[in-house]
Amino acid sequence: MANFGSSDVPALLADMGVPVSIGGENTVGLVDRTGLQLAEMEGPSVVIDRGISVVIQTGTLTLTVGAAITVDGTGYKVRGWQSVDDGELTRVQVSAS
C-alpha cells in the first residue's frame, strides 16, 4: 500500500470505504477479503477459510482483542491489528462473531 499523509487518509477512505464501528466509535475503512490456503492435497489446494481485515485511519477506533466490531453492517470480533507502512493506517484482522 502506498504511503499517505494524515491529511490524505480521510478523503481516501471516504471515497472507497465502508462504515466501521466499535461501541460508540465510528469510522470508515477498506475491507480486504483474502482466501487462506489451509490444506494442500494431491492436485489443487483447497481454500478452507477466508481472512477478513479492514484498514482504518490509525487512532480512529479504540482496539481491543475480542471486541465486537461492525464492518459494513456485519458483526465480527477483533483478532488483532498492525500498522500499515508509515503508520497512518492500521489493518484490523477480524473473524466471525
Query: pLDDT by residue (tens digit) across 32-70?
Result: 987 655 556 666 666 555 679 999 999 999 999 999 999
Looking at residue 22, its pLDDT comes to: 97
In what helix (H) or strand (E) does residue 15 lie, and over which residues does it extend?
helix 9-16
Looking at residue 10, its pLDDT comes to: 80
Mean pLDDT of 3-20: 80
* Whether pLDDT at 18 is above 70: yes
In what helix (H) or strand (E) does residue 23 lie, and over which residues does it extend?
none
**Chain position carrying cell 470505504:** 17
Query: pLDDT by residue (tens digit) across 66-94?
Result: 999 999 999 999 999 999 888 889 999 99
pTM to 2 decimals? 0.78
d(CA 71, CA 50): 15
Mean pLDDT of 3-15: 75
What is the grid cell recorded at 2?
502506498
